[in-house]
């Protein structure tokens, strides 16, 4: 049986702790240069302009990087420590078979048009979401039913512990005022803000919802600009924006009146390895499967042990991140035992030598049974950071006697070659269901989930048990076992299915008078997630305006 969430109990989201320090000092006495309760933001990567408008059922708040929708309430939200806490919900329970989730909600919430928000609206939202947008992934939800005004029952097709994340990120819309064709441009919600103006291609203006039931934010108006990162950085230099996401290439630049804020997000970068040998098999689309070099676990182990991740962190991303070993090191469901905690090129060379990978012809590339230790690594040609990481990895691998041929390509070309060549991918695994999709055995269906076609029946069993668990703590135990159980697992200590390298922080330039409170744990993408704590402060005193 699941347990209710209250102010004193929570379900973990699987994140590590971020800094608990305030980002602005409050111990001086000169007035802030800006004392306004209006905020101008440009956070391009996640709250960029939504093509279909501000409609949660079409992806707003639930896209590639989930974030606080601001205009709508969600059943649950994230606390500063990354745990899941109540928003509309007051508690929830899960049936013993895992197929029924019952969520109780507040009775004091109104939409911005004055109508009460009830369980009927919640049920309508989730039933409409089924099949409405692939990013919402409601494929396992059979039906949502309002039991009464304050209780909703969710019937699942199969048990799914990760369903909590569906409840976390979908904003609730009003049944009485929702029309798919028009809602996105004129959203009615119950969140902390309401949309008052949307100039497509330029900006959206949000104003405080005075009837909001929760803690009201300090900022009464938010102007959200839709600028690319380079243009946003120019806006920073001209002082026209309070906070803007910037490219890593600007990490070492300074701007008067601004501070650089780097927020951890566990956005892991790593190489996927084809794990099958080349036997002539093809994917469902006819793409080649298998690689006789990366299918050898010795190659994968040697690279995991021999690559100096700290050098990549410092040399490529200016130290704005962390070394990464399992792809989920910084999540509560990450398993420290699955990691390889130090770099040792000499040990990597011994592993290769002992397995028969030797450089017999003196050309610097090892061979075994006539096969050279050489394979292709694809990366997005438009991503300078991935290109730089790929180059650095190939240079280090060369010292081990492994030749990596780099191919900058389009995503269509990358996907066509992911089953036969390594690819530099990025993952932000917050939702535990991503872990299931990434490592559970599957067909070569030409998606980027499990591109190595990993197939380990023991790991499959752990993943299935974790997914079917009715208790989040038990689920976490099995997610960890899937990474490594002492003898096998997807992590480097087990089958070394990936060569995870680093996580990259989200970087922002923020006005020095902006106090961003305690950033949410590993939620660097969702910089506005704790907007309730933001305010302006005197840069030289504790007086806020």
From CA 305, how far away is CA 25, in angstroms rounded? 41
User: Please, what sign has the CA dihedral across residues 248, 250, 252, 257?
Assistant: negative
Model confidence at 482: pLDDT above 70: yes
- Round to whole Å and give the CA distance between 317 and 507: 11
Q: Give the number of C-alpha atoms closer than 13 A to the C-alpha of residue 56, restricted to the C-beta side.
A: 35
Residue 241: per-residue pLDDT: 95
Question: Class of 38-264+507-536 per CATH?
Answer: alpha beta
What residues does each domain of the chain span? 38-264+507-536, 268-504
342-368 mean pLDDT: 96
pLDDT tens, 491-509? 999 999 999 999 999 899 9
CB-neighbour burial class of residue 255 (10 A; exposed 0-12, middle 13-18, buried 19+): middle
> Using one digit for the tens of pLDDT, what is the confidence trace for 416-455?
999 999 999 998 777 888 899 999 998 777 777 899 999 9
Architecture of domain 268-504: Roll (3.10)
- Establish whether domains 38-264+507-536 and 268-504 are of one fold: no
Per-residue pLDDT tens digits for 284-311: 899 999 999 999 999 999 999 999 999 9
* pLDDT, position 312: 97
Q: Is the pLDDT of residue 51 over 90?
A: no
pLDDT at 47: 60
User: How high is the pLDDT of residue 25?
Assistant: 35
Query: Which whole number is the average pLDDT over 463-468?
Result: 96
**pLDDT greater than 60 at residue 109:** yes
| pLDDT of 532 over the 80 cut | yes
pLDDT at 133: 64
- Please indicate whether residue 12 or residue 61 has the higher confidence score (pLDDT): 61
> Which are the contacts of 285, defined by CB distance < 8 A and separation ≥ 6?
416, 446
Q: Would you state the pLDDT for residue 34?
A: 45
**Stretch among 51-55, 148-152, 343-347, 421-425 having the lowest mean pLDDT:** 51-55
Q: What is the pLDDT of residue 543?
A: 38
pLDDT of 44 above 70: no
CB 453 within 8 A of CB 283: no
CB atoms within 10 A of CB 389: 25
Mean pLDDT over residues 374-378, rounded? 98
């Amino acid at each position: 049986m699941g347990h209710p969430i209250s102010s004193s109990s929570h379900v973990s989201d699987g994140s590590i702790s971020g800094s608990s320090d305030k980002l602005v000092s409050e111990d001086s006495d000169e007035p802030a240069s800006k004392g306004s309760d209006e905020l101008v933001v440009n956070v391009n990567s996640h709250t960029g302009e939504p093509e279909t408008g501000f409609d949660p059922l079409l992806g707003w708040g639930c896209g590639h990087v989930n974030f606080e929708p601001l205009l709508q309430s969600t059943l649950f939200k994230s606390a500063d420590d990354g745990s899941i806490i109540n928003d509309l919900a007051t508690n929830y329970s899960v049936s013993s078979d895992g197929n029924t989730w019952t969520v109780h909600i507040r009775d004091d919430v109104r939409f911005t048009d004055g109508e009460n928000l009830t369980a009927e609206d919640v049920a309508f939202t989730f039933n409409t979401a089924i099949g409405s947008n692939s990013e919402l992934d409601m494929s396992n939800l059979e039906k949502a039913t309002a039991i009464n005004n304050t209780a909703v029952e969710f019937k699942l097709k199969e048990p799914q512990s990760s369903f909590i994340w569906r409840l976390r990120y979908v904003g609730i819309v009003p049944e009485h005022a929702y029309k798919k064709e028009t809602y996105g441009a004129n959203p009615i919600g119950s969140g902390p803000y309401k949309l008052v103006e949307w100039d497509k291609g330029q900006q959206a203006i949000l104003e405080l919802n005075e009837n909001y039931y929760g803690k009201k934010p300090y900022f009464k108006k938010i102007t959200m600009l839709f600028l690319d990162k380079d243009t946003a950085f120019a806006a920073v230099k001209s002082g026209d924006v309070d906070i803007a996401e910037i490219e890593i290439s600007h990490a070492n630049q300074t701007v008067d009146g601004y501070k650089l804020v780097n927020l951890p997000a566990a956005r892991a970068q790593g190489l996927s390895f084809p794990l099958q040998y080349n036997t002539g098999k093809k994917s469902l689309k006819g793409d080649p499967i298998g690689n006789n070099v990366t299918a050898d676990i010795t190659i994968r182990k040697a690279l995991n042990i021999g690559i100096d991740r700290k050098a990549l962190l410092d040399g490529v991303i200016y130290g704005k991140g962390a070394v990464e070993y399992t792809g989920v090191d910084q999540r509560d469901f990450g398993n420290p035992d699955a990691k390889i905690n130090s770099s040792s090129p000499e040990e990597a060379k011994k592993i290769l030598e002992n397995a028969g990978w030797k450089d017999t012809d003196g050309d610097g590339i090892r061979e075994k049974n006539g096969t050279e230790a050489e394979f292709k690594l694809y990366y997005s040609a438009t991503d300078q950071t991935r290109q730089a990481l790929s180059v650095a990895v190939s240079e280090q691998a060369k010292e081990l006697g492994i030749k990596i041929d780099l191919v900058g390509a389009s995503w269509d070309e990358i996907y066509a070659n992911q089953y036969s060549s390594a690819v530099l991918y990025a993952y932000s695994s917050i939702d535990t269901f991503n872990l299931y999709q990434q490592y559970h055995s599957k067909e070569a269906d030409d998606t980027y989930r499990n591109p190595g076609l990993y197939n380990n029946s023991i790991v499959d069993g752990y993943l299935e048990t974790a997914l079917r668990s009715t208790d989040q703590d038990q689920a976490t135990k099995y997610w960890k076992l899937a990474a490594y159980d002492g003898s096998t697992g997807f992590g480097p200590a087990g089958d070394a299915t990936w060569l995870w390298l680093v996580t990259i922080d989200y970087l922002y330039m923020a006005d020095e008078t902006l106090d961003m409170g305690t950033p949410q744990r590993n939620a660097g993408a969702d910089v506005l997630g704790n907007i309730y704590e933001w305010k302006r402060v005197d840069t030289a005193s504790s007086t806020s305006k």
